């Protein structure tokens, strides 16, 4: 799944490599690979709070907050 860095003005996309981490509200980071430039980047941890959908919409709260009861 591709998400966008929220604070990045050049709209860098991040490929989330482990969707289980993304959906887990107890995980504060996901393993992702930045897609900027022509070379394939090495995977690195990315804070989930800094990610949004490519449309600019925020991630669901149930993915971020372990105390969210819905």
DSSP letters of 13-25? Answer: EEEES-HHHHH-T
Does 50 map to a domain? yes
Does 25 map to a domain? yes
* pLDDT of residue 65 exceeding 70: yes
- Token digits of residue 34: 């930045």
Q: Residues of the chain with pLDDT > 70: what percent?
A: 94
Range of the domain at 35: 2-64
Q: Which of 5-9, 14-18, 20-24 has the lowest mean pLDDT?
A: 5-9
Domain total of the chain: 1
Rounded Cα–Cα distance for residues 46 and 29 (Å): 5
Residue matched to tokens 């907050």: 65
Does 69 map to a domain? no
What DSSP state is assigned to residue 47? E
Mean pLDDT of 8-16: 80
* pLDDT of residue 35 exceeding 90: no
Residue matched to tokens 């070379």: 39
pTM value?
0.85
Does 20 map to a domain? yes
Does 53 map to a domain? yes
* pLDDT of residue 5 exceeding 80: yes
Instruction: Let me know if 46 is exposed, middle or buried by CB neighbors in 10 A (0-12, 13-18, 19+).
Output: buried
């Amino acid at each position: 799944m591709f998400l966008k860095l929220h604070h990045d003005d050049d709209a860098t996309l991040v490929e989330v490599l482990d969707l289980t981490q993304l959906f887990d509200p107890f995980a504060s980071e996901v393993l992702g690979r930045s897609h900027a430039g022509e070379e394939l980047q090495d995977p690195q941890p990315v804070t989930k709070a800094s990610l949004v959908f490519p449309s600019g919409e925020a991630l669901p709260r149930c993915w971020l907050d372990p105390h969210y009861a819905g």
